[in-house]
Amino acid sequence: MSAPSVEIQPFSGRSVCLFCGSSETADPKYTEAARAFGEGVAGRGWRLVYGGGGVGLMGASARGAHAAGGRVLGVMPEFLRSRERLFDDVETLVVGSMHERKQIMYDESDAFVVAPGGIGTLEEVIELLSWKRLDLHGKPVIFLDIDGFWQTLFRLMEHTVEAGMTPPSFLQAWTVCRTVDEALDALGGMDNAPDMKHDHR
């Protein structure tokens, strides 16, 4: 699947995609972690790629990166403009569908971080991991597992291995970090990683 033709401002550095929740009722520690992550991404000279919203963890991460002088690329489906409220202070693409949104976020990113979120975040990361399972990409996937937020998902993954549905090696397809600083340090290795291309078998 290829993304639609869109105008994106050039960026020569590395880009990190953040998947996270848009809920305004999330625990403040998750929102603060998202803000700190955006700030940390900007401080390292990387570009933050995110879902384009100005609410919840999404908005906090973009504001953190923007306030720190970093580059930010948001990608928002048209039908979510009012619900997730565009953050107009940063570069934002408005696209026609969720599929277009995810494809652009994937294509524009060198690595992915998954912060706490709801069903939307879960849907995004499951597709990302499915692509990795099919050898469609080898980009780093890092879970920001604050207070064990993602442990239930990891247990489900282990269950699929135990049931013979998934090979044990797949449990190495992601990295778990418990703090923002750990996640940023883990991302440091992407600067020396080769650019990955899709396997078109």
CATH number at 15-189: 3.40.50.450
What helix, strand, coil percent values describe the chain, rounded to 5?
A: 45, 15, 35
What are the tens digits of pLDDT across the range 12-67?
A: 999 999 999 999 999 999 999 999 999 999 999 999 999 998 999 999 999 999 99
pTM of the model: 0.89
Q: Where in the chain are the domains?
A: 15-189
Select the more confidently predicted residue: 83 or 126: 126
- Span between the terminal Cα atoms of the chain, in Å: 14
Residue pair 190/14 in contact (Cβ under 8 Å)? The answer is: yes
Check whether 194 has a pLDDT greater than 70.
no
Q: Quick one: what percent of the chain has pLDDT higher than 70?
A: 89
What are the tens digits of pLDDT across the range 116-149?
A: 999 999 999 999 999 999 988 999 999 999 999 9
Query: What is the spatial order of strands in the sheet that 141-144 belongs to?
Result: 91-95, 72-77, 47-50, 15-19, 111-114, 141-144, 175-177
